[in-house]
């Protein structure tokens, strides 16, 4: 057994995973799906279908907008019946006809092709953040990655999606891991899993011997929430400290969860875009709990009714886990790419919080904080809106795991306070960034106009060049030096694009919830500049053909 290390803090909530342990089944095909355009990190997708269009399962219906965004596909076959700013509705025909992409062999295919496939297939992180997988896999272009960590800790109570995925699709998940590891240049694969999943662990141990070409280590860690936080897991498995405000890539690690790896493999091997995912349906108010393959966009009400929801008993519906998940007010929601669990809890199971009392600074929160913060001080300064102190006490290092709220004897909703403070601070930043953003938008427009001008020029030049070759050569050509400076300009523009991409990828990965419009516009500007530079270069080449060939 691989050696493991300790992270600071943590709590031992009840696991309550037993109820959803049954074999994986397919949920009934929904009659209608409603697909949100923003079910991934980054900018919402742009609809590419109109009302009345016929779609099959896997037909792209919205394309990613900007670099951090994701393609969206029809998850049932039928007809598009509504398109608005946030959603696309499809009425099913009950036939379930598919539109697949050509299967690719990941061992032999080029990296570009594979990355494009991940992008085309709309694969995003299925663990919760919904970060586009192709962007994450490209991290290897910018930073050295030595280890792919398969995050199978699944430390939140109730949820068994990763557990069941590993039990039933063990070799596929490992092959997906080999695929992603080869894309990002990792040298080893480490699976981090909590010791409360014995079946998955033994399945992994059996399957890892056949997994090729990289060696796979199965690291069993003690069950302690939040062991599945990226930083905590990397600390536990590899004893590396991800810098605060940094990324796992800064210590040579890429993290993916088992479901994402499975989806990535299927997109390549089977040409199957991401149209369904595994969802844990559990809670005492459900008669028939378990894990189901659910089409993206399936109405939660239909799904829960199928699992035998007792509406009279239902007290609280939670999307995600009971520690970090989102309590829902009604059953009107839809399953998205990031819906890993639905808990229909009875009142007895998750009783309402008792009234809050004042903080007595008992320090229980500090003891359990995995980020080694002082939650009691953050609480104080968040309520006082003291921004300098909040920065001093590292508010933005909070991973919002809720361990502090879980143990607080005064029942203070600490993380809710921190979120509020973060939102407020971001709002302030946004205000100050607005002027900057306007400037960047202007620059982008200028760049677009310049690019269009350059392309027009290039087309005219090409025409002239054609005419001139037809009529004998008399055209005055650009000097050699001009061509060289244009090439330099093109190289510089390329570098600027890469830099803008890097900045954006980094910002988006650090904080998937934060909008990055300004960085997107800077990237767009750089891309316009690059195209313009290429057009000018092409034009100069056309014009200078005789000199260059001579």
Partner 1 sequence: MLHASQVDDRPRLTKMPSTGGIMRWVIIATLPGLATMTFFFGLGVVSNVVLAAAFGLGLEALVLRLRHRNLRPLNDASALLTGVLLGASLPPASPWWLIGIGMVAAIVVAKHLYGGLGNNPFNPAMVGYALLLVSFPTYMTLWPTPQPLWPDTLVSQIMGSTSLEQIDSLSGATPLDAFKHKAEEVSASQFWANPPLPRATLTAWEWISAAWAVGGAMLLAKRLISWHIPVAMLGSMTAAAALLYLFNPDEAASLWLHLFTGATLFGAFFIATDPVSAATSQRGKLIYGAGIGLLVIVIRTWGGYPDAVAFAVLLMNLCVPLLDIYTVPATTESQAATGRAQP
With binding defined as CB under 8 A, does residue 397 bind partner 1?
yes
User: Does 232 interact with partner 1 (rule: CB under 8 A)?
Assistant: no
373 near partner 1, judged by CB under 8 A: yes
Q: Closer CB to partner 1, residue 156 or residue 163?
A: 156
Cβ-based nearer residue to partner 1, 179 or 381: 381
Q: Exposed e or buried b for every residue in 468-489, given b needs 16+ CB within 10 A?
A: beeeeeebebbeeeebeebeeb
For 261, the 3-state DSSP assignment is helix
Among 402, 461, 522, 525, binds partner 1 (CB under 8 A): 402
**Cβ neighbours of residue 512 closer than 8 Å, sequence gap 6 or more:** 41, 42, 129, 130, 131
Q: Which is nearer to partner 1, 133 or 341 (CB)?
A: 341
Which element (helix H / strand E) includes 78? strand 78-83
Q: Shortest approach of partner 1 to residue 513 CB, angstroms?
A: 12
- Using the contact rule CB under 8 A, the part of the chain among 254-262, 297-305, 407-415, 485-493 near partner 1 is 407-415
Q: Which one among 184, 220, 238, 242 touches partner 1, defined by CB under 8 A?
A: 242
Exposure of 352 by Cβ count < 10 A (0-12 exposed, 13-18 middle, 19+ buried)? exposed
- The residue range among 396-404, 455-463, 516-524, 532-540 that interacts with partner 1, by the rule CB under 8 A, is 396-404
- Contact range with partner 1 by CB under 8 A, out of 12-20, 273-281, 464-472, 536-544: 12-20
First to last CA, the chain: 67
Kindly tell me which residue out of 186, 190, 335, 407 binds partner 1, with binding defined by CB under 8 A: 407
Bridge partners, 54 (sequence order):
79
Q: Is 359 in the site for partner 1 (CB under 8 A)?
A: yes
- Considering only residues 426, 437, 441, 498, which one is a binding residue for partner 1 as defined by CB under 8 A? 426
Q: Please, what is the Cα angle at 278 between 273 and 73, to 5 degrees?
A: 25
Q: Which two tokens stand for residue 214?
A: 């990289």
Window of 135-143, 240-248, 262-270, 271-279 that interacts with partner 1 by CB under 8 A: 240-248
3 closest CA partner among 222, 241, 249, 230? 222
Smallest separation, CB 116 to partner 1 (Å) = 31
Measured distance CA(136)–CA(118) in Å, rounded: 11
Q: Which is nearer to partner 1, 22 or 246 (CB)?
A: 246
Binding flag, residue 386, partner 1 (CB under 8 A) = no
Q: Which listed residue (6, 96, 241, 513) binds partner 1 by CB under 8 A?
A: 241
Considering only 338, 376, 529, 531, the residue that binds partner 1 (CB under 8 A) is 376
Identify which range of 91-99, 400-408, 444-452, 534-542 contacts partner 1 by CB under 8 A. 400-408
Tell me which stretch binds partner 1 (CB under 8 A): 99-107, 200-208, 394-402, 472-480.
394-402
| 28, 315, 361, 499: which one binds partner 1 (CB under 8 A) | 361
Binding mask 488-527 for partner 1 (x = CB under 8 A): -----------------------x----------------
User: Could you say which of 429, 446, 485, 547 contacts partner 1 (CB under 8 A)?
Assistant: 429
Site for partner 1 in 293-332 (CB under 8 A): 318, 322-323, 325, 327
Burial class (CB in 10 A: 0-12, 13-18, 19+), 328: middle
- Under the criterion CB under 8 A, does residue 193 sit at the interface with partner 1? no
Query: Is residue 152 a contact partner of residue 166, using CB atoms and an 8 Å limit?
Result: yes
**Complex with partner 1: residue 234 or 483, whichever CB lies closer:** 234
The C-alpha atoms of residue 224 and residue 60 are separated, in whole angstroms, by: 40
The correct pick among 26, 107, 187, 411 for binding partner 1 (CB under 8 A) is 411
Candidates 52, 213, 355, 476: give the one binding partner 1 (CB under 8 A). Answer: 355
CA distance 454 to 227: 54
**Separation in Å, CA 428 to CA 241, 369, 417, 421, 423:** 30, 27, 17, 11, 9
Is residue 410 a contact point for partner 1 (CB under 8 A)?
Answer: yes
List the structure tokens of 12. 């031992």
Show Cβ contacts of residue 67 under 8 Å, excluding neighbours closer than 6 positions. 42, 135, 501, 504, 505, 520, 523
Cβ within 8 Å of residue 373, ≥6 positions away: 366, 393, 394, 397, 398
DSSP-assigned states of every residue in 449-460: HHHHHHHHHHHH
Candidate residues 26, 100, 311, 392; the one interacting with partner 1 per rule CB under 8 A: 392
Helix or strand run (H / E) with residue 151:
strand 147-152
- The answer to whether 189 and 216 are in contact (CB under 8 A) is yes
DSSP 478: P
Task: Report how many residues bind partner 1 under the rule CB under 8 A.
Answer: 57
Asked if residue 2 binds partner 1 (CB under 8 A), the reply is: no
Residues within the interface to partner 1 (CB under 8 A): 11-14, 16, 157, 241-246, 250-251, 318, 322-323, 325, 327, 350-351, 353-355, 357-364, 366-367, 372-374, 376-377, 391-394, 396-397, 402, 405-411, 425-426, 429, 511
């Amino acid at each position: 057994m691989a050696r493991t290390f300790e992270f600071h803090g943590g709590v031992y909530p009840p696991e309550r995973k037993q109820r959803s342990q049954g074999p994986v089944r397919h949920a009934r095909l929904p009659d209608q799906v409603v697909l949100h355009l923003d079910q991934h990190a980054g900018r919402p997708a742009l609809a590419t279908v109109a009302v009345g269009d016929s779609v099959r399962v896997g037909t792209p219906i919205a394309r990613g907008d900007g670099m951090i965004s994701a393609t969206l596909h029809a998850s049932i076959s039928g007809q598009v019946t509504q398109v608005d700013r946030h959603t696309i509705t499809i009425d099913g025909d009950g036939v379930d006809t598919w539109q697949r992409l050509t299967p690719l062999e990941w061992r032999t295919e080029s990296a570009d092709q594979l990355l494009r496939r991940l992008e085309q297939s709309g694969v995003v992180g299925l663990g919760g953040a919904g970060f586009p997988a192709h962007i994450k896999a490209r991290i290897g272009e910018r930073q050295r990655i030595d280890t792919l960590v398969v995050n199978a800790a699944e430390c939140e109570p109730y949820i068994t999606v990763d557990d069941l995925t590993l039990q039933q699709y063990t070799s596929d998940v490992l092959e997906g891991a080999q695929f992603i590891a080869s894309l990002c240049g990792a040298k080893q694969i480490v699976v981090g899993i909590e010791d409360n999943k014995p079946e998955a662990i033994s399945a992994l141990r059996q399957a890892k011997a056949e997994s090729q070409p990289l060696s796979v280590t199965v690291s069993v860690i003690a069950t302690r929430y939040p062991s599945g936080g990226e930083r905590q897991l990397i600390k536990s498995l590899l004893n590396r400290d991800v810098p605060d405000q940094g990324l796992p890539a800064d210590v040579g690690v890429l993290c993916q969860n088992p479901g994402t790896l499975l989806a990535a493999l299927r997109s390549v091997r089977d040409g199957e875009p991401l149209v369904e995912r595994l969802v844990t349906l559990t809670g005492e108010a459900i008669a028939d709990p378990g894990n189901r393959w659910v089409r993206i966009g399936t109405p939660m009400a239909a799904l829960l009714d199928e699992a035998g929801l007792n509406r009279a008993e239902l007290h609280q519906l939670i999307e995600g886990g009971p520690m970090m998940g989102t309590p829902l007010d009604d059953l009107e929601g839809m399953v998205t790419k990031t819906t890993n669990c639905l808990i229909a809890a009875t009142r007895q199971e998750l009783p309402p919080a008792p009234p809050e009392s004042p903080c007595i600074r008992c320090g229980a929160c500090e003891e359990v904080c995995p980020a080694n913060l002082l939650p009691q001080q953050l609480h104080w300064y968040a309520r006082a809106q003291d921004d300098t102190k909040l920065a001093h006490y590292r508010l933005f290092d909070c991973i919002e795991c809720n361990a502090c709220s879980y143990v607080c004897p005064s029942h203070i909703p600490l993380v809710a306070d921190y979120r509020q403070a973060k939102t407020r601070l971001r709002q302030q930043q946004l205000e100050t960034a607005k002027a900057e953003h306007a400037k960047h938008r202007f620059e982008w427009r200028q760049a677009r106009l310049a690019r269009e001008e350059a392309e027009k020029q290039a087309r005219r030049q090409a025409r002239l060049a054609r005419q001139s070759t037809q009529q004998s050569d008399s055209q005055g050509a650009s000097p050699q030096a001009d061509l060289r400076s244009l090439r330099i300009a093109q190289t510089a523009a390329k570098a600027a694009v890469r830099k803008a991409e890097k900045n954006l990828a980094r910002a988006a990965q650090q904080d998937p919830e934060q909008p990055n419009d300004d960085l997107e516009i800077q990237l767009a500007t750089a891309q316009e500049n690059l195209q313009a530079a290429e057009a000018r270069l092409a034009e100069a080449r056309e014009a200078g053909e005789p000199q260059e060939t001579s």
